[in-house]
Amino acid sequence: MSHADLLADLHTPCLVLDEAIMRANIARMDARMSELGVTLRPHLKTVKSVDAARQVIRNGSAATVSTLREAEVFAASGVEEIFYAVGITPNKLPRILALRATGCDLIVALDSAEQARFVAEASRMAGDRIPALLEIDSDGHRAGLIPASDAVVEIGRILSDGGADLRGVFTHAGGSYEAGSEAALRTYADRERDAVVTAANRLREAGLPCPVVSVGSTPTASFATDLTGVTEARPGVYTLNDLVMAGLGVCGVEDIAISVLATVIGHQRERGWTLVDAGWMAMSRDRGTAAQPLDQGYGVVCDIDGTPIGDLVMIGANQEHGIVAPRPGATTAAPDLPVGTMLRILPNHACATAAQFDGYHVVQADGSGDLAYWPRFRGW
């Protein structure tokens, strides 16, 4: 059945997921990680859906999350080992311990002696060695310890001697999102590896354990060539992909698995505008491509089958109105799209756009004549 037939009765705006594209994205990353000899610990903050996560982690039972709610939902769905990759605070420890008590191997993240002390203390009080990965800064982008610093050993020792479980080190090259070339992406990937391997060596030389050496972002996982010394990678957005990833050369526009289904609601013909019923409440306010050579506005406009229409992008967004027009400088004229025409708009940032919706309307990979519905969840 054609996409047009499958989607025609949906209320717009809504979120459409092309399962065949998602599966191909997952298979590509699985193969890359096997070739590089590392375990994939996918970040599930992108899909935030148990149904989607079942496909992402079908080859294993380890995952990364960005909220405790994600940890709780995915643990309840059967994921056995979960890394909560956001700095730990004392007020989250009761939930961490409660979830660990259910049998989930939940691992926390930290990069200070202060955090190590309260994690060690909580471990002793609960009689449960809470596992922790030390965050290492590989690109000056966000948090983390300097890889070769004495602080790595000092904090590792507080955990290990204090009753917690020093599980290893991790880094996230968030700066790779601003890389301007393939060579720069490879450099970010090398820096991730070098940073965590250096920190792991410091721990081991000091007689401390470091079984996990973890790197990860979709751009670096896609361009890494040598992950010697690394044990796992944690990309997430590769599952769905988006225009920022396409702009970086990580994927093609045709590899973007989600789109917002919208309907034409009017025109400003003298300005070349078509108005749709999806504004920033549907697309999110993310303008991640604004800093890239090809600014895609609030999203690339496709026909209902998912094929981009000339140079059409969403050039402006109000809460529930999107303004669709050829991108600035385009040579093609705006096509006539009558009121009622259904369009699909590809997002700048998959995590942000998907988070605007309660679930995915899934065009199933088996070509089934029915749409599936995969609920998403929210909250912290």
Establish if 236 lies at the interface with ligand PLP (CB under 6 A): yes
Specify the 3-state DSSP secondary structure of 257: coil
- In the shown chain, the binding pattern of residues 85 to 124 toward ligand PLP, with x for contact by CB under 6 A and - for none, equals x---------------------------------------
Establish if 241 lies at the interface with ligand PLP (CB under 6 A): no
CA distance 363 to 342: 16
Minimum CB–partner distance for residue 172 and ligand PLP (Å): 4
Establish if 193 lies at the interface with ligand PLP (CB under 6 A): no
250 DSSP 8-state letter: S
Establish if 64 lies at the interface with ligand PLP (CB under 6 A): yes
Q: Give CA separation, 60 vs 29, 36, 56, 184, in Å.
A: 14, 17, 9, 31
Minimum CB–partner distance for residue 344 and ligand PLP (Å): 22
Establish if 168 lies at the interface with ligand PLP (CB under 6 A): no
CA distance 13 to 344: 9
Sites for ligand PLP among residues 203-222 (CB under 6 A)? 216-218
Whose Cβ is closer to ligand PLP: residue 133's or residue 312's?
133
Q: Which residues of 36-73 are buried (b: 16+ CB within 10 A; e: fewer)?
A: bebbbbbbbbbbbbbbbbebbbeebebbbbbbbebbbb
Alpha helices in the chain (DSSP H): 3-7, 19-36, 50-56, 68-76, 93-101, 113-126, 150-162, 182-205, 218-223, 243-248, 280-283, 350-354
Sites for ligand PLP among residues 67-86 (CB under 6 A)? 85
- In the shown chain, the binding pattern of residues 8 to 47 toward ligand PLP, with x for contact by CB under 6 A and - for none, equals -----------------------------------x----
Q: Which residues are at the interface with ligand PLP (CB under 6 A)? A: 43, 64, 85, 172, 216-218, 234-238
